[in-house]
Amino acid sequence: MAGESSAAVRRPSRGTTRSSNRKSRSTLAGLLVPLSGAGLKRRSEHVAAASRAGGASNVLNDAFGAAREVSGVGQYPSELEDDLTLPSRSRLRIRPLRRCEDRAIRELYRHLSPRTRYLRFSSPMPELPDSFLRLITCVDYRRRLALLAESTNMDGDAEVVALSEFIAIDHRTAEVGLVVRDDWQHQGLGTALATRTLLAAEVRGFDRFVAQVLCENVGVMRLLGHLGVVLSMKTQHGASEVTFVRKGRTPAATVAPSLINP
């Protein structure tokens, strides 16, 4: 897997903020389930908690195992910038989303098909609501972080073709999400970007992940089976809440094959 690292991760010390509602609807994969109203509320609570926490301690090791320091809340994590070559030989630039960088997200959304929009937000909305946009772009690089994949178009301009993110649920669990533009799906981009996001989260002390997956989204389950060890799955109202850890951190024997081979 791209970006695989065997380096040990030291969890940072910080105040623990637990959410009382775990029904947020973002998910891991190229096509995502939306955030519900409860999920939006939880994200707002975590943004506020991160702001109150301020000045978090440093963590050793970057997302790809190098032995250098990652600074606390607020500093742009330039160590996560990277170049990616897909099996198709297409070259992309991977970089963290900057705080309040909304234009790139709006452009990505406009290039999504109605089907992809539906699977991501439960509605093929023609425009991304400002409330969703603010929550995506309100990163702090510690408890909320997003990675972008950029391609260079015919005019030489960079355009975002995929977005992956995580948001802390508690001191060791993070909710993850990823969306890939339709014309860039099925090329390995989702796997590569998701892997980098999981590794970046682990460096920041999160080793357990949650994804909400639509029952019709078989491709997502296959991706989870490739990247993760599924610990539990709860299905309700057409979506499954999947709790997992990244492969390589927990023996694969702990996964139930029936959970990842629908």
| pLDDT score of 192 | 96
Q: Which is nearest to 43 in space by CA: 24, 28, 15, 56?
A: 24
* Average pLDDT, integer, range 242-256: 69
At residue 70, does pLDDT exceed 60? no
Neighbours of 153 (CB within 10 A): 10
Average pLDDT, rounded, for the chain:
74
At residue 57, does pLDDT exceed 70? no
* Average pLDDT, integer, range 92-99: 96
| pLDDT score of 198 | 97
| pLDDT score of 247 | 93
| pLDDT score of 37 | 37
Q: How confident is the model at residue 73 (pLDDT cuts 50, 70, 90)?
A: low
- Name every residue whose Cβ is closer than 8 Å to that of residue 44 and which is 6 or more positions away in sequence: 135
| pLDDT score of 122 | 63
At residue 258, does pLDDT exceed 90? no
Say which range, 22-26, 41-45, 140-144, has the weakest mean pLDDT.
Answer: 22-26
Dump pLDDT digits (tens) for 113-125. Answer: 998 887 776 677 8
At residue 95, does pLDDT exceed 90? yes
Domain architecture of the chain: domains with CATH: 37-52+73-260 (3.40.630.30)
At residue 68, does pLDDT exceed 60? no
Dump pLDDT digits (tens) for 28-56. Answer: 333 343 333 344 444 444 444 443 443 33
* Average pLDDT, integer, range 133-142: 92
Dump pLDDT digits (tens) for 159-190. Answer: 999 999 999 999 999 999 888 999 999 999 99
At residue 143, does pLDDT exceed 60? yes
* Distances in whole angstroms, Cα of residue 140 to Cα of each of 25, 61, 204, 210: 21, 18, 12, 20
At residue 15, does pLDDT exceed 50? no
At residue 60, does pLDDT exceed 60? no
Residue that the structure tokens 């796997």 belong to: 191
Instruction: Flag whether the pTM goes above 0.75.
Output: no
**145 vs 142: CA distance, rounded Å:** 7
- Name every residue whose Cβ is closer than 8 Å to that of residue 197 and which is 6 or more positions away in sequence: 145, 147, 164, 165, 166, 176, 178
Contact 203, 61 (CB under 8 A): yes
Instruction: Give percent of the chain above pLDDT 90.
Output: 46
245 versus 256: which is more confidently predicted? 245
| pLDDT score of 117 | 81
The pair phi, psi for residue 42, each rounded to 5°, is -65, -40
* Distances in whole angstroms, Cα of residue 12 to Cα of each of 16, 69, 202: 11, 12, 10
